[in-house]
Chains A and B, each alone.
Chain A
């Protein structure tokens, strides 16, 4: 079964750091670009960051650029999002999502989503 399972979300103080993880199974992890999408409570979806299948290309939303780093570990089939200097507006459910098609960084759709992990930023 193709599956993504996120973890790492928790309550953190403003200015703090957090690393989110997303463990993939059931597909050739290295063949697919992977993405983080977030959703603030009661709000819509917001693209956060994407990493290519090879890991050589990364892309960030302006709202997180310079504060977040996306990476992937092929030995563990795991995607990461390192988040620093967290702000109240970063509070959201963070989803990892798999690109629909292999071998391309162009996102035609996200066909597999994790269940999400909640990040709360508060003092």
Chain B
């Protein structure tokens, strides 16, 4: 069982928006503004899409956005495209003992 809880799957049609939730506790997601999101295509390494809850690294389309409320973070993908079909993982810094936790991952299907 992963430390952060994500839905196992979500889906949407091209052009639509989808939101993936990531629920933790006050010791991780709720306690720090260090939530990050990763995209992973099959057989590939993860790619950083969002860091510090809302920030996008250079090269990540602005269709990807992040937010947080209390112990739940969210990744929203607007204007879905076929290449967005992948697994998405959230992660949070969790202090000097637990350190880093990941969610179980969400499989996004573009219909």
Which residues of A does B touch, CB under 8 Å?
35, 37, 44-47, 50, 59, 61, 95, 97, 100, 106-111, 113-116
Chain A residues whose C-beta falls within 8 Å of the C-beta of B102 in the assembled complex: 37, 44-47
Take A45-B38, A59-B99 as given contacts and tell me if A110 and B93 are in contact as well, using a CB distance cutoff of 8 Å.
no
Interface residue total, chain B, C-beta cutoff 8 A = 24
Q: Quick check: B103 and A44 within 8 Å, CB to CB?
A: yes
Q: Quick check: B36 and A44 within 8 Å, CB to CB?
A: no
Which residues of B does A touch, CB under 8 Å?
2, 34, 36, 38, 40, 45-48, 50-52, 57, 89, 91, 93, 96, 99-105
| Top-8 shortest CB links A-B | A109-B51, A109-B36, A113-B45, A47-B100, A44-B105, A59-B99, A45-B102, A44-B104
Which residue of chain A lies nearest to B50 when distances are taken between CB atoms in the complex? A109
Show 14 residue pairs from A and B whose CB-CB distance is below 8 angstroms, ordered by the A residue.
A37-B46, A44-B2, A45-B38, A47-B101, A97-B46, A108-B36, A108-B51, A109-B34, A109-B91, A110-B38, A110-B91, A113-B45, A113-B46, A115-B45
**Once the chains are docked, how many angstroms separate the CA of A91 from the CA of B99?**
22
Which residue of chain B lies nearest to A48 when distances are taken between CB atoms in the complex? B100
Q: Quick check: A44 and B34 within 8 Å, CB to CB?
A: no
Chain A residues whose C-beta falls within 8 Å of the C-beta of B51 in the assembled complex: 100, 108-109, 111
**Once the chains are docked, how many angstroms separate the CA of A111 from the CA of B34?**
13
Determine how close the nearest CB of chain B comes to the CB of A6; give it in whole angstroms: 10
Q: Quick check: A45 and B93 within 8 Å, CB to CB?
A: no
**Once the chains are docked, how many angstroms separate the CA of A35 from the CA of B36?**
15
**Once the chains are docked, how many angstroms separate the CA of A96 from the CA of B12?**
32
Chain A residues whose C-beta falls within 8 Å of the C-beta of B93 in the assembled complex: 106-108
Take A44-B2, A95-B45, A116-B45 as given contacts and tell me if A107 and B100 are in contact as well, using a CB distance cutoff of 8 Å.
yes
Take A47-B102, A59-B99 as given contacts and tell me if A95 and B89 are in contact as well, using a CB distance cutoff of 8 Å.
no
Which residue of chain B lies nearest to A45 when distances are taken between CB atoms in the complex? B102
